[in-house]
Amino acid sequence: MTRVRRDGPEHGRPRSTDAGYTAAGPPGHCPVCWSGGTGRRCGACGWEPEATAAAGSAARDAEIAACWSWDMSAAVLATRYLAAGGRSRGATPGGTVDLRLGPLIRRAPATAIPGPRPFGPLDPFGILDPLGAEGRRDTAAGSPAGAVSLLTALTAGEYDAVCVLGISTAGLTLRELARCSQGTGWTHNSPGDDVRWPDLAPWLPASPAERAFLLAGGIGLTPPYGTHGVPRATDEAWEPAVRHALDATLAPLDAARAQGRAVPLVLVVQARGWRWPGHAAQELTARAPAAARMFLDASDPRTLDDIVRSVCRQVPLRHGYALLTRPAPEDSPGRRTDTGARILFPGGTTLPEEGELFASVELLAEAEADAGGGGIGDASTHADHADTDEHPDAAPRPDAEARTRDGVFALPLVTARGIRTEDWPVLHTGRARVRPGHRTTVTVALDGHGQLRFTEPELFAESRDGRTLPHATDADTNASRPPRAAAVDVLLLLELGGTQAESERRVRFLRSVLRRLGATGPPDPGAGRPGGETPEARTGLRIGLVGYEDHKVLPVRAGPEGDSVLSVWGPGSAEAAAEAVRRFPVRPVRHDYGAPLEDALHAAAHWPHWRDGARHLLLVLARRPPHPTRQQSDLSLPCPDRYDYEEALRRLRTVVCPDLTVIGVRDQAAVDTSGRWRPQTRERLRHIWRDLGRDHLFTLGTHTPEDVVSCVDRALGRPAEAPGLLTDPATAPAALGTARRHGARTDSSAAPPSQKDSEHHG
């Protein structure tokens, strides 16, 4: 059988038995590794050229074998690397050589293959650089212990930052790690651009296999050395490239140190045994010695960022994390503080290698009256006063106690840093509805980035742009709240399609929201008159309504249909809007998998009544996702008017109202009750609610109008009532209590059951 090789025309040429040994090594250079300035013994490969020259033909065979051995080592390294990335060709897992590399290797005489190697100066296959050999002897070369030690010192404040230099088969990369401003997690920066070998040595071949072969140290039959201006000696060819790579990569580190910052360096060589990356690491030793080193194989598929993250996981927490609670009534007497804390993750905690760490604590949702006063009440009062002082014209608000009775509680996460619990800085506050008078389990996950998130109970309101919601002990964090707005524009988008009952449910919810908005909002100069407000009015709350019904005709057509699917009202006062929304018609459903929400969003993006300087808010109450802009893999038909909801939303958020707050209220009635929705349709529904609920997301039937109004008030800069804290039923001092630890879950997306099917942002 004739086999045709397709590696290139030159590979088909017959070769003589000693092809490859060309005595190509330049005079005074090592014939094996082509290092220049070789004396009696080559410093790179250990070969003794003079001894070979004097020994005759037998030694010449040995030299040929050494050349073959050298190239074979490089080819093995390159093959392992290519195989790890799934790019090898014809190499078995056992480690044979890639098909493309075989013809490159300088051949040894038949007597030298595969018997014992004639000379032993060369390293075994797979090690061609001195540092690699060192790493081979050091069994802990890949251990991150040194890096962990440095990062631990960084969290303690001993260093300003830690730089990590990665030297890999791709090039050189520098990362800077610093402490998160909140004392949690890490910040990863790329102070400079990555430097790639092909940019440094443009004479490297374009083929990844051949490039890897040369980087590993191989010479081959047709080396680039000595051609096209490339020096004939390998080290002379590579020296400028390595030097330039180090200069370019370490420039930010040098600058930081010149400013007096204490920035140690961690070296991560992800090319153990490769000659030229190893040479760069060796040069670094003389230029800027690393405080810690890690030697990894080039076949390690992780990127430098992955490696850094895995090291960060092993750094123990400097400070623990805790959940603020209210002490049990029996603990209150004699206590000087009104809040306690349950430690979730104590200081010293380390993350597992993969996944997140979960901690649960069981708390009591105790109403204010049940608690016998004190505790949250005082703290709430403190927060309320702060709000009132800040906004002397604030409208009457629902009592915090009433909200506690409603079952809305605050879940403040704090860093256990400081002596008094009250001084512990708040990281994040969630709010959840919990059944009053019952115990509830709060579960918090600590992820690989050092960030915390609630997994249960289900949170119904999320902070916007990282700003947290108020809670009882957060009275001093009002700086994070937006300033109170004198003019407020609210546009409500309402899906009209559905049964009478479904429509009434939505309208009832919306009217309740509107009435509450009207009760707490600033007076509207043109109240009661839709559109009656003069354009020059610059204050007050104005409401607009856009109802949308299904498209009557779904086939494609040349232009937009004549009959609009929108019912537009306003702007007007909240009270007038509450009356107007009741008159919105009930429309039939004409398509199961989509409604013209994209038309409504397009109308919102072109609503002429958005006022400059006013606070802008969009509230969407919908059941079905919008029509896609083009046909996808499901049965959802594209919008016949060719509107794109993503484009409309982007325009709203970036051009029309850059400060826009979007509140999503989803009606989940009759959504995929038959289970016939295709995955793509479900995914689009999830996507739209993730997009619309980026600021706040609620569910009709689960959340109340009060929940929505509280978020609206918050977005509009109005004082929001402070919900209470959950009660810690533990008899021991609250601050000393620890949470029940779930352990790690390796699937980072995993969450307790209550969160699994939720689309709430944790």
CB 636 to another protein: min, Å: 8
Closest by CA to 32, choosing from 105, 95, 140, is 105
CB 93 to another protein: min, Å: 24
Which C-beta is closer to another protein: that of 344 or that of 595? 595
Q: How far is CA 122 from CA 43, 48, 64, 109, 634, in A?
A: 11, 11, 13, 17, 62
Which C-beta is closer to another protein: that of 481 or that of 551? 551
CB 669 to another protein: min, Å: 14
Which C-beta is closer to another protein: that of 589 or that of 656? 589
Q: Dihedral of CA 524/526/532/533: which sign?
A: negative
Task: Tell me whether the omega of the peptide bond preceding residue 571 falls within 30 degrees of 0, making it cis.
Answer: yes
CA–CA separation, 62 and 68 (whole Å): 10
Which C-beta is closer to another protein: that of 188 or that of 678? 678
Residues lying near another protein in the complex (CB under 8 A) are found at: 554-556, 558, 589-593, 629-638, 640, 674, 676, 678, 680
CB 592 to another protein: min, Å: 4
Closest by CA to 575, choosing from 521, 494, 505, is 521
Q: How far is CA 437 from CA 369, 407, 411, 526, 729, in A?
A: 11, 9, 17, 45, 12
Which C-beta is closer to another protein: that of 503 or that of 636? 636
CB 424 to another protein: min, Å: 52
DSSP code per residue over 305-324:
HHHHHHHHHTSPPSSEEEEE
Which C-beta is closer to another protein: that of 163 or that of 565? 565
Contact 683, 375 (CB under 8 A): no
Burial (CB count within 10 angstroms: exposed 0-12, middle 13-18, buried 19+), residue 682 = middle
CB 554 to another protein: min, Å: 5
For the chain, state the CA radius of gyration. Answer: 35
CB 681 to another protein: min, Å: 10
Which C-beta is closer to another protein: that of 139 or that of 674? 674
CA–CA separation, 16 and 7 (whole Å): 19
Closest by CA to 45, choosing from 201, 275, 277, 212, is 275
Q: Tell me which H or E stretch contains 601.
A: helix 597-605
Which C-beta is closer to another protein: that of 89 or that of 676? 676
CA–CA separation, 526 and 546 (whole Å): 19
Which C-beta is closer to another protein: that of 496 or that of 541? 496
At residue 488, φ and ψ (nearest 5 deg) are: -135, 130
CB 634 to another protein: min, Å: 6
Other Cβ atoms closer than 10 A to 532 = 15
CB 673 to another protein: min, Å: 9
Contact 556, 631 (CB under 8 A): no
Which C-beta is closer to another protein: that of 511 or that of 587? 587
Which C-beta is closer to another protein: that of 530 or that of 640? 640
CA–CA separation, 418 and 681 (whole Å): 50
Tokens for 186, please give them.
């890490």
At residue 75, φ and ψ (nearest 5 deg) are: -65, -35
